[in-house]
Structure 1
Amino acid sequence: MADVVVVGSGPNGLAAAVILARAGLAVRVYEAEATAGGGSRTAELTLPGFRHDVCAGGHPMALASPFFRAFDLPAHGVELLAPQVSYAHPLDGGRAGLAWRDLDRTVEGLGRDGAAWRGLFEPMARHWQAIVDVAMSDLRRPPADLLTAARFGLRVFEQGTPLWNLRFREAAAPALLTGVATHAITPPRAIPAAGAGMLLGTLAHVGGWVLPRGGSQAIPDALSAELERLGGRVHTEHRIDSLDELRSARAVLLDLAPAELLRIGGHRLPDRYAERLRRFRYGGAACKVDFALSGPVPWAAAGCELAGTLHLVGTRAEAVAAECAVASGRHADRPYVLAIQPGVVDSTRAPAGNHTLYTYAHVPNGSPRDISNAIVAQIERFAPGFTDLILAKHVYTAAELPEHNANYVGGDISAGAMTLRQFLFRPMPRWNPYATPIPGVYLCSSTPPGPGVHGMNGMHAARHILRGEFGIRTDPLELLAAQSVRDR
């Protein structure tokens, strides 16, 4: 009999499972799909030998997340590869903003805005651990480094309000920063988007945005292997349709979106809590398109061929227009496209001489529209001749994404709109957002600190389970560190 059952094997569910198993508990994980990983799976979606990441492709948090730093992915066989250019932002006319891992090199390439970029990011890069500790906390405790937190907050306020253009004079630097902020799938001049932009932008200059060799699947595979080494087990192709199936467990952790909690446990929830879950908002969505290519993408701007991630939308004003269209329920004529080219550092993703290209574009929630032609047009805009390289493509519309991951309601890969309210209070205002009113049942998806492959939602939830259900007060990071020492 399991002490703890985890439903869902995304990075948060597996992170929690490993922590709970290291505390000596018997843990079982149930996953509806054929492979573990949730949003971090890898599959041959186009042609044999072409390995594509199904959702998460780049990993800005893999080196920085407190959970992953303690777990030590490289020690568990995950090779993290860092492109020289963390991300690039092409503009028309063969120009581009380039965020090199080397901050000095980035500053040199931004012309008159180089000094402004340094002023924005150098203090953050110098104190990046304090920034991560603030951003990846449960948002319920004061930060340990108040000065750095204040500096970070002031920069977020600047870039999330009408002040955001004050420090820039040219086009590349503001576009470069806006491309990162737009990861939040919300109009980029907003506090949550600015927070994402400042955090991810800082990490670009600290270790870089890494890609796991062989694909994102390497991360959940490492977590699953460690869980099984500790005596736990992951059961795939096992869908849970009711919490009543799990009554024998002392605690249940749901790596599920609020809609899924309502589906399997709504009959046991108090009416008021259930109604708040129904009011939880899902945000803009993604149309995901993967390409098998006969060669590397022929970017017009020098340096883009070295970037792991690219943001394809044009100027800051174009990014705002595209995201405002999506927020209002319309498809942008020229959508924001995020592209990842793993072949820059990882030759294992495709047969020799070939490449894969990962892309998605932002679309309205629930959109059934295949916008792959618009994505191709945006790539062709900045890489003339791209179309001639396409061997095959694979499309997931926003409406189709929930069929492969039920947490992506309407194709929302953030598992909840990144409004200011839902940034602070996910899934609703509660001092302990991980606990539900059902005794022994907890959440670790759509909870603080928010979306991304970092495992921190799971770590925070595991802390509450250990203390509330088993009287174990050891900090999860201490459990991870102690085990790592014994492993050595």
Structure 2
Amino acid sequence: MTGGQAAVVGAGPNGLAAAVILARAGLDVTVFESAPTPGGGARTIEAIEPGHWHDVCSAVHPMAVAAPFFREFGLTERVELINPEIAFAHVVRPDHVAFAHRDLDRTAERLGVDGEAYRALMEPLVARSSEVLDLTMNQLLRIPRHPVSVLRYGLRALEQGSPWWDMRFKEYFAPALLAGVAAHTPGGLQRPVASGAGLMLGSLAHAVGYPIPARGSQAIIRALIDDLVAHGGKVVTGHRIDSLAELTAADAILLDTSPQELVRLSGGRLPRAYAKALSSYRYGPGAAKLDFILSGPVPWANPELAKAGTVHLGGTRYEVAASEREIARGQHSEKPFVLVSQPSTFDPSRAPAGHHVLWTYCHVPQGSTLDMTEVITAQLEEAAPGFSDVVVASQGMTAMEYERYNANYVGGDFGTGAVNVRQLLARPVPGTKPWQTPLGGVYLCSAATPPGPGVHGMAGYHAARLALKDVFRLPMPSLAP
């Protein structure tokens, strides 16, 4: 140990990433988590019936392979990642499905008349995915290191987020694939912010795939905690921090919390203008979750869907856009875009023999209390006739129950803040060091800071690097296994 102390509040992927870096640098690190178990957005729990393991939030993890923090950390050497050959699929109609294979050429072949147009759109992003990630995983308010790649990416994001998004396509399969990945970012499809995020996710499907961690997303959390403990750090669960005054022994405090929680914890110590800016931070649509236990695989009308790690339901690009637009306006959609994954198809450890678990969610208006069980089930029944016959049990979670699960998910927004142009450039405030607060030694490292939502650890990475430089005058340590 160097003698320095650091406290991290929140044991989600970002908080634990920061803790790992600080402990690797030789600091005495303690992570405080108010929940009984660590994990945040990557927690896996035994629910509904014994022996059935469900991911509470994230289930599929392209960033586990692609994000710079996890690449340096060597996550693929620490966690078994199952990478389906079909990264994702989009059900336009039960008998009309578009498939995104990990192989871009195979994907283009199956898209028929639009195959070459899809390839031309995606190939430069796939070939330069690490350069695109260098932009999206860092702070946007800086000179890009790879301007040509950034220009290509930016022009494509503008095109796909505009009224001319279909100008290069003749059919609806390729646009449906793009709609599905863009709809991962709630708030509406015809926005460069959503299309940019979608293009990044789409290109990662072909660059690294959409891996599923064996034994659940919690495996990522276990790998982070194992490394933290091996370097002298510790995690204290079931311990709620109510004031920064409780952490006066720490030389640096890193908060994997919402901006409003920073205001509360500061006890009035923040400058008025900064506190006002944090209080005006806005949240996006919420998520409504539905977990199933099944007596067999989903009986998809198209059996090949069983080979896809992620399935999108919602119809054509225009139908998905219409439902997302309704939700952004504060209305529930009768036929929302639904994300689906059946991890037990690839990982038998998730359920007892003869049973399966199914992970689904859809977007709902901010603060919704509506149980979406019937709506999601109807979407599944349409794409998989007879689905209800294999349902053993189900358990729903409303948007407001998501907030009770994790205070960072205000109104059910598990992205910890709306993703729009304003909050892309000011997340949570504008500046070249948005992780740094006006309080000396206090940093924000949640998804409310760049690069935003996702299990990538990069917000923790950036905040920890600043703390090492500013507080401890220490270099970044090696993160290799």
Interval containing the TM-score (normalised by the shorter chain): over 0.9
| 1:334 corresponds to 2:335 | yes
Q: Specify the alignment match of 2:30 in structure 1.
A: 28
Q: Is the 8 A contact 2:253 2:442 kept in 1?
A: yes
Gaps of 5+ in 2: none
Cα drift, residue 93 of structure 1: 4.5
Note the 1:348-363 alignment, pairs <5 A: 348-363=349-364
Paired position in structure 2 for 1:390: 391
Structure 1 residue runs of 4+, over 6 Å off?
none
User: How many angstroms apart in 2 are the aligned matches of 1:326 and 1:266?
Assistant: 35
Query: Deviations 1:86-105 (Å, cap 9, x if unpaired)?
Result: 11101214110100011111
For 1:368 and 1:342, locate their aligned partners in 2 and report how far apart those are by CA, in whole Å.
Answer: 27
Match of 2:71 in 1: 69
Letter in 2 for 1:56: S
From 17, 33, 40, the equivalent of 1:38 is 40
Deviation digits for residues 226-252 of structure 1 (CA, Å, limit 9, x no counterpart): 000000000000000111111111110
Percent of residue pairs bearing the same amino acid type: 52
Cα RMSD of the aligned pairs, angstroms, is 1.2
Could you say which residue in structure 2 is the equivalent of 1:417?
418
Q: Distance in 2 between matches of 1:265 and 1:10?
A: 21
- Deviation of 1:254 after TM superposition, in Å, equals 0.2
Q: 2:470 maps to what in 1?
A: 468
- Give the whole-Å Cα distance in 2 for the aligned partners of 1:421 and 1:340: 32
Give, in angstroms, the shift of residue 266 of structure 1: 4.4
Cα distance in 2 for partners of 1:305, 1:207 equals 20
Q: Report how far residue 343 of structure 1 moved.
A: 2.2
Q: Distance in 2 between matches of 1:303 and 1:340?
A: 14
Corresponding position of 2:214: 213
Is residue 45–residue 290 contact of structure 1 (8 Å, CA) maintained in 2? no
Counterpart selection for 2:457 from 438, 455, 458? 455
Name the amino acid aligned to 2:399: A
Following superposition, the deviation at residue 72 of structure 1 comes to 0.7
Question: What is the CA–CA distance in structure 2 between the aligned matches of 1:90 and 1:249, rounded to whole Å?
Answer: 51
1:104 aligns with: 105
Q: How far 1:194 sits from its partner (Å)? A: 0.8
3-state secondary structure, aligned to 1:339: strand
Amino acid at match of 1:154: L
Does the Cα contact within 8 Å between 2:142 and 2:432 map onto a contact in 1?
Answer: no
- Determine the structure 2 residue equivalent to 1:376: 377
Within 2, Cα distance between the matches of 1:302 and 1:105? Answer: 18
In structure 2, what is the equivalent of residue 258 of structure 1? 259
What is residue 172 of structure 1 aligned with on the other side?
Answer: 173
2:65 aligns to what SS in structure 1?
Answer: coil
Deviation, 1:396, is 1.0
Give the structure 1 partner of residue 282 of structure 2. 281
Partner deviation per Cα, 1:305-359 (whole Å, 9 max, x = no partner): 1111111111111111111111111100101111111123211111112111101
Deviations 1:286-306 (A, max 9, x none): 001100111111111242111
8 Å CA contact 1:42, 1:54 repeated in 2 = yes
For 1:448, the aligned partner's letter is P
Q: Please state how far the C-alpha of 1:271 moved relative to its aligned partner.
A: 1.5
In the alignment of these two chains, the number of paired residues is 478
Answering whether residue 408 of structure 2 is matched by residue 407 of structure 1, we say: yes
Q: Aligned partners of 1:431, 1:196: CA distance in 2, in Å?
A: 21
Equivalent pair of 2:4/2:472 in contact (CA under 8 Å): no
Q: Would the aligned equivalents of 2:32 and 2:237 in 1 still touch at CA under 8 Å?
A: yes
Q: Which amino acid aligns with 2:93?
A: D
- CA distance in 2 between counterparts of 1:276 and 1:381 reads 45
Does the Cα contact within 8 Å between 2:159 and 2:165 map onto a contact in 1?
A: yes
| Distance of 1:151 and 1:220 partners within structure 2 | 35
Counterpart in the other structure of 2:90: 89
- How far apart are the structure 2 equivalents of 1:359 and 1:424? 31
Q: How many angstroms apart in 2 are the aligned matches of 1:54 and 1:191?
A: 29
Structure 2-normalised TM-score? 0.97
Gaps of 5+ in 1: none
Q: Secondary structure at the match of 2:207?
A: coil
C-alpha contact (below 8 Å) 1:284/1:362 kept by paired residues:
yes
Does the 8 A contact of 2:94 with 2:382 survive in 1? no
Counterpart amino acid of residue 48 in structure 2: T
Give distance in 1, aligned partners of 2:260 and 2:380. Answer: 35
1:435 corresponding residue in structure 2? 436
CA contact (8 A) 1:400 1:411 kept: yes
**Residue deviations 1:251-306 (CA, integer Å, cap 9, x gap):** 10000011211222242112211111111000000001100111111111242111
Counterparts of 1:143-292 in structure 2, within 5 Å, are 143-292=144-293
Offset at residue 74 of structure 1 (A): 3.0
Amino acid at match of 1:253: L
Contact map agreement 2:139 2:432 (CA 8 A) in 1: no
| Contact persistence 1:138–1:460 (CA under 8 A) | no
Aligned counterpart for 2:50 among listed residues 48, 51, 58: 48
Between the aligned partners of 1:308 and 1:480, the Cα distance in structure 2 is 32
Tell me which residue corresponds to 1:480. Answer: 478
Moved more, 262-271 or 421-430: 262-271
Quote how far apart the aligned CAs of 1:480 are: 2.6
Q: Tell whether the 8 Å contact from 2:141 to 2:425 is kept in structure 1 after alignment.
A: no
User: What is the distance in 2 between the residues matched to 1:225 and 1:40?
Assistant: 15
Distance in structure 2 (CA, Å) of the matches to 1:199 and 1:164: 16
TM-score, scaled to structure 1: 0.96
In the TM superposition, residue 192 of structure 1 has moved relative to its aligned partner by: 1.2
For 1:19, give the aligned amino acid: I
Task: Select between 256-265 and 60-69 the one with higher mean Cα deviation.
Answer: 256-265
